[in-house]
Structure 1
Amino acid sequence: MIKTLLFFFILSTGLLFSQKSNTLLSFSFEEAYKLQEKEKKPLVVFFHTKWCKYCFAMKKSTFMDKKVIDLLNQNFYFITFDAESTDTLKIKDKTFKNKSGIHEIVEILASRDNTISYPTTVILSANNTIDEQIDSFISATEIHEILTTYITKSHSN
């Protein structure tokens, strides 16, 4: 009986740890900037809406991939943000709000030629400059390649 209980305890502990490592850590803008004060890492920001089917597909496929999750958790601070959010953000003494249905932070980080597409994934350097802006669906394989190349380039500089 004790051996059986011990076996189930070890099995359940292993399952808990494996589930935890398969979880993508996601932060708010405020949390990510605070974390950057302690450890400088680039940010990956995923802008989406509730009605966007490609955004939903990325959430369910791209950001559920174990290799992508490991890469993001180890090398970046990941932020997922609803572009139509009505939340007020306070980042480094600046306030950002929703203006006419689209959040100001989205207009600043995700617009290209005064147009915003969903989904948009943005990579911000550890110094918070826009390094990459991808305004389309990205598969797990594609984002893994983009992030791996980004890490390699940033380590060589």
Structure 2
Amino acid sequence: MMKKILIALFLFIGTMSIQAQEIRWVTLDEAMARQKKSPKPIFMNVYTDWYGPCKMLDKETFQDPEVIDFINKNYYAVKFNAEGNSVVAFKGNKFSNPGFDPNRKGRNSAHELTSYLKVQGYPAMYIIDRNGDTQQQIIGYKTHEELLKILR
């Protein structure tokens, strides 16, 4: 009986740790609001749905436990679709994607925020301070080792 309880406990703990191991993504609006209450920088991943290196970043780098832990502890994490149709308030401006076509497959028009951030390629990652100023821009796919070296 005790053996079954221990096995069940280990399985439960293992399941909980697997579920807890992901980056806690929020919207840019949520990150800015949280930053006002408890200041820490924002780590923003600007991606597209169709681009292979963006998908690799999600599947590989952002699944690494050390990356997950580091980003969750040190940043508010924002995942922003560079071709999405969200309306975003940032630094006193409203940004949208007036050319967004919901029926389009693959590439769509670029969101206005990507122009404002001066995105030079995808994936693009930004470190944004509590004033909304870009402290660092990281362009292109990075392995977990490369990203951690940059972030540290």
Relative to the length of structure 1, the TM-score reads 0.83
Q: SS in structure 2 opposite 1:50?
A: coil
How much does 1:125 deviate? Answer: 1.7
- Give the distance between the partners of 1:19 and 1:126, measured in 2 at CA: 31
**Deviation >6 Å, runs of 4+:** none
Letter in 1 for 2:31: A
RMSD, matched Cα: 1.7
Matching residue of 1:138:
142
Equivalent in 106, 113, 117 of residue 109 of structure 1: 117
2:37 counterpart of 1:33: no
Amino acid at match of 2:45: F
Please report how far the alpha carbon of residue 17 of structure 1 lies from its aligned counterpart in structure 2 after TM superposition.
3.0
CA distance in 1 between counterparts of 2:130 and 2:88 reads 19
Structure 1 position 122 matched with structure 2 position 126: yes
Cα distance between partner residues in 2 of 1:36 and 1:16: 31
The question of whether the paired residues in 1 share the 8 Å contact of 2:43 and 2:127 is answered with yes
- Per the TM alignment, residue 81 of structure 1 is displaced from its structure 2 partner at its CA by 1.1
Is contact 2:91–2:132 with CA below 8 Å preserved after alignment? Answer: no
- How many residues of Structure 1 are paired with residues of Structure 2 in the alignment? 143
**Identity in percent:** 27
Task: Structure 2: give runs of 5+ residues left out of the alignment.
Answer: 100-108
- After superposition, where does 1:72-111 map in structure 2 within 5 Å? 72-91=71-90, 94-100=93-99, 101-111=109-119
> Following the alignment from structure 1 to structure 2, what is the Cα–Cα distance between the partners of residues 88 and 128?
17
Runs of 5+ consecutive residues of structure 1 not aligned to the other structure: 149-157
Structure 1 range deviating more: 22-31 or 92-101: 92-101
Partner Cα distance (1:137, 1:58) in 2: 6
Higher helix share: 1
8 Å Cα contact 1:110-1:122 kept in structure 2: no
Q: Which residue of 2 aligns with 1:53?
A: 52
CA distance in 2, matches of 1:12, 1:88: 42
